[in-house]
Amino acid sequence: MNQPPTDIILGRRAFELLQYIIDSRGRCRISLPDTALGSAALLLRMEKQGNMDLLLIQGNSDWEEALASSGKSELLLEYNDENGGRCHFMVEVVRTFGERVWGKTPPVIYRVQRRMFFRLKAQPGTEVGFKIDPRQEARGIVRDYSLGGLAFWPESPLPLKTEDLVEDLRLRIPAGGSFTEIAIYAAVVRRVEPGTDPEKPLYALEFLGMSRRTRRQFAAHILGEKRRLLRQFKIPPFLLEGPRAQPGPIGCLPTGTTQDRSSPRAKSRKAARRGEGGLKYIF
């Protein structure tokens, strides 16, 4: 069975993901490893204290007693992102007070992708705009998109590389005489593929989050386009659901390449294998 892909997030990317969870008030689950104890939690802020980078977690008052009685010094935190990925990381506890826990900022975050998304080829005129930094905006022509990301060619050369973060994205999709606009909080550059113009490669982005309302609107648009393709091109539904094993005819050699085992040559080969006739064939 294929295992879901796991993304190992380190360094600046880990810091940016934690900051995104804090800013978006993303709800996490906190638990004590190897026990049944778990509850909801919020990440409040990151702070440098002395020579330590610390993370402040809002849990409940049970954690102080649970940590003291168990003798454990680490907590497991889990967060489900907007793209269906499950992030998890360990936090080494430094101190607790009431419902709050100070822990060391995790050096690594693991992200397991739970599901894949149906990708649509973009209609002519589909474009994306976003901020590279607070002072620089960029635009691009979209090749394809899904609920989890998009691929685009930039209108002008961009200083982007793999793992760079872009923010405040606006995906604009032609709809009749107007546009459907999808707002995405942030995305990360997953791939950079060379194109015909070396200064304008194809960039593949993975979305990091959007509002629930926007997500519902976007999902409804993709479902509508999927149904339209089914009607227009009479595509079997399984071809739009991703790879799946399908029963098919048993393969056979073309008639011209099959051998008649009753032919004289075939009989001679059989005789050679039995050591008859003093002949030796090398196949």
Q: What is the mean pLDDT of the chain?
A: 77
Per cent of the chain over pLDDT 90 is: 20
- Average the pLDDT over 233-243 and give the result: 49
Note the pLDDT of residue 5.
53
Least confident of 1-5, 100-104, 130-134, 145-149: 1-5
Note the pLDDT of residue 137.
86
Residue boundaries of the structural domains of the chain = 6-113, 120-237
Q: Which two tokens stand for residue 146?
A: 């899904």
Q: Which two tokens stand for residue 197?
A: 């113009």
C-alpha–C-alpha distance, residues 157 and 24, integer Å: 31
Angstrom CA distances, 174 to 159, 181, 186, 238, stand at 28, 9, 22, 27
Statement: residue 113 has pLDDT above 80? no
Statement: residue 251 has pLDDT above 80? no
- Is 120-237 the same fold as 6-113? no
Stated pTM of the model? 0.47
Q: Which residue has the higher pLDDT, 277 or 200?
A: 200
pLDDT digits (tens, 9 = 90+) for 13-56: 888 889 989 998 888 988 887 777 888 899 999 999 888 999 99
| CB-count exposure of residue 187 (10 Å: 0-12, 13-18, 19+) | buried
Architecture of the 6-113 domain: Roll (2.30)
| CB-count exposure of residue 16 (10 Å: 0-12, 13-18, 19+) | middle
C-alpha–C-alpha distance, residues 105 and 32, integer Å: 17
Note the pLDDT of residue 203.
93
Note the pLDDT of residue 259.
42
Print the SS3 string covering the chain: CCCCCEEEEEHHHHHHHHHHHHHCCCEEEEECCCCCCEEEEEEEEEEEECCEEEEEEECCCHHHHHHHHHCCCEEEEEEECCCCEEEEEEEEEEEEECCEEEEECCCEEEEEECCCCCCEECCCCCEEEEEEECCEEEEEEEEEECCCEEEEEECCCCCCCCCCEEEEEEEEEEECCEEEEEEEEEEEEEEEECCCCCCCCEEEEEEEECCHHHHHHHHHHHHHHHHHHHHHHCCCHHHHCCCCCCCCCCCCCCHHHCCCCCCHHHHHHHHHHHCCCCCCCCC
Q: Going by CATH, does the domain composed of 120-237 fall within 2.40.10.220?
A: yes
